[in-house]
Amino acid sequence: MNYCCDCGATVDRRWVPEDKRERFVCSSCGRVHYLNPRVLVTCLVEHRGRVLLCQRAQDPGKGRWSAPGGFVEYGETLEQAVVRETQEETGVAVEDSQLHLHVISSLHWISEIYVTFRASVSDSHIRVGPECLDARFFASEEIPWEQLAFVEFKDYLRLFFRELHCNQYGIHSTRLSEHGGHRRQYRIADITDIFVADPVTSRSATISKN
Ligand SMILES: [Zn+2]
């Protein structure tokens, strides 16, 4: 960050004692500019034991395979974002009600949070979007394991197929670094769709740690 988005003056990195960290502070109006992680969503869409992957048309990972997904836009819910990205990239329509939370990953060294959903669809019709070269459903033995766009995605896919095979799913929180990963699994004790008084609709899950 070089300039203040409020007044256009230059910003400096300054120590903010209350926060015990350096932040970008405007040299003129004094506004503190906070930097927060970016949130991405991705979806493991399953149809008759096969999972939907798309071949990326852009870097990073151009020509390689990953699950449909992308950045959450301002004003979007996680579910809206993942439904939109899946539709845009593969043409596969996922309903909000089909989505289940699967993995939350912190990639803290690049300040990104990935939220992965899983969904089962009955309609497997694909229409490849402009951000992709191809999109297909793969059985586990057909996955192009050596041509995946992101190394950590291999572990997510293995985990997904393992759970699909047993028909028992957890919610996982992972922490990834350049040196390896750490995964914590949560067991879902109960899941309910609760309509809270206007205007907030809430999907709440009672979660207990395994
Ligand atoms: Zn300013």
What separation in Å is there between the alpha carbon of 19 and the centre of ligand 1? Answer: 20
- 78 bridge partner residues: none
Q: Half-sphere exposure of 179 toward its Cβ, with a 13 Å CA cutoff?
A: 0
* Listed range (3-7, 82-86, 104-108, 185-189) with the worst mean pLDDT: 185-189
Strand (E) or helix (H) holding 157: helix 151-166
What local confidence, expressed as pLDDT, does residue 72 receive?
97
Centre of ligand 1 from the C-alpha of residue 32, in Å: 9
**Alpha carbon of 11 to ligand 1 centroid (Å):** 7
Computed over every residue of the chain, the mean pLDDT equals 87
How far is the centre of ligand 1, averaged over its atoms, from the C-alpha of 71 (Å)? 27
Ligand 1 centroid to 1 CA: how many Å?
A: 12
Q: Is 114 helix (H, G, I), strand (E, B) or coil?
A: strand
For the cut 50, the answer to whether the pLDDT of residue 111 exceeds it is yes
Does residue 98 have a pLDDT over 80?
yes
Does 199 sit behind a cis peptide bond, omega within 30 degrees of 0 on the bond before it?
A: yes
In the chain, beta strands by DSSP E = 11-16, 21-26, 32-33, 38-47, 50-56, 65-66, 69-71, 100-107, 112-120, 132-138, 171-177, 180-195, 201-209
Interval between CA 40 and ligand 1 midpoint (Å): 29
Q: What is the structure's pLDDT at 11?
A: 95
Instruction: Give 43's pLDDT tier (boundaries 50, 70, 90).
Output: very high
Calculate how far, in angstroms, residue 4's C-alpha sits from the geometric centre of ligand 1.
5
Give residue 158's pLDDT: 92
120 Cα: distance to centroid of ligand 1 (angstroms): 48
161-to-92, 158, 190 alpha-carbon distances in Å? 20, 5, 23
DSSP letter (8 states) at residue 121: -
Distance between Cα 24 and ligand 1 center (Å): 10
The three-class DSSP label of residue 142 is: helix
d(CA 145, CA 129): 23
* Amino acid identity for residue 198 in this structure: D
